[in-house]
Amino acid sequence: MNAELKKKWIEALRSGEYEQGRNYFEKAGKFCCLGVLCKVAGKPTTRAEDDVGNWHFAETTLPLGMDMRLATLNDKGSSFSEIADYIEAKIPADEHSHTD
C-alpha cells in the first residue's frame, strides 16, 4: 500500500473526525474504515447498487483479501483505533506504489 496514503488513513481513523458506522462505506454521515480510506484518497464513498468503483479501489489498494478482513473487523464492532492498530501491524507500506 502507498506509504503516504496508509499514514493519512491511520491518522484519519484515529482523529475522531469520522463517526463509525457499519455495513456501508458511508451512510447518514457514518463511515466504515474503508469509507474513511476512500475519503482520504479523494474517492467516492457512496455507490449505486451497480457501481462497484469504491470496492475496486479498496481491493486494488490493499493486499489481497484485506478489504474484506477490514470490513469484517469494522462490522463486527472493532473500533477505528483498533482497526488503525491492525492496519499498522498487518499492511506493509510501499514508498513506490501508487494510489490510482
Dihedral sign, CA of 88, 1, 68, 49? positive
pLDDT of residue 61: 83
Name the average pLDDT for the chain. Answer: 87
Confidence of residue 50 (pLDDT cuts 50, 70, 90): very low
**CB-count exposure of residue 19 (10 Å: 0-12, 13-18, 19+):** exposed
Q: pLDDT (tens digit, 9 = 90+) per residue, 16-49?
A: 999 999 999 999 999 999 999 999 999 887 654 5
Mean pLDDT of 79-83: 99
Q: What's the predicted TM-score (pTM) here?
A: 0.86
The predicted structure's pLDDT at residue 97: 57
